[in-house]
Amino acid sequence: MKASKLIATAALSFLAVAAAQAETYEGVHPLTSSASRSEVATQAVATARAGNVYAEGASAGVQTFESKADRSQVRAGAVAKAHDPFGSLDRRAFYRDEVPAAYKKPKVSFTRQAGL
């Protein structure tokens, strides 16, 4: 029993070794640039002196913003949105992207309640 397991393990090992093939190394890719060394050096110096062109927002400091809307209009819109009970509902948060009917009920109730 042990000998058969040992032979089976050895056979599987040889199969695995035979199946594994290493990728061949073809060296460094050939140079395909048409620019000369002096042109590349000139471009490198110009790029180094230009600074970090991708850091416009991070290093710009405080930026001013001029709004076209009136302050009272913005405040009135914010108050209306804050008092809207359905203002924060996003249909994508519900099953099949549809707001349930329970959320669409009118605010006003036409049923009478007993007074105390």
Spans of the chain, pLDDT less than 70: 1, 15-22, 56-60, 105-116
User: What per-residue confidence (pLDDT) applies to 15?
Assistant: 66
User: What per-residue confidence (pLDDT) applies to 50?
Assistant: 81
User: What per-residue confidence (pLDDT) applies to 45?
Assistant: 92
User: What per-residue confidence (pLDDT) applies to 6?
Assistant: 77
Q: How far is CA 104 from CA 29, 88, 101, in A?
A: 64, 13, 5
User: What per-residue confidence (pLDDT) applies to 18?
Assistant: 62
User: What per-residue confidence (pLDDT) applies to 19?
Assistant: 61
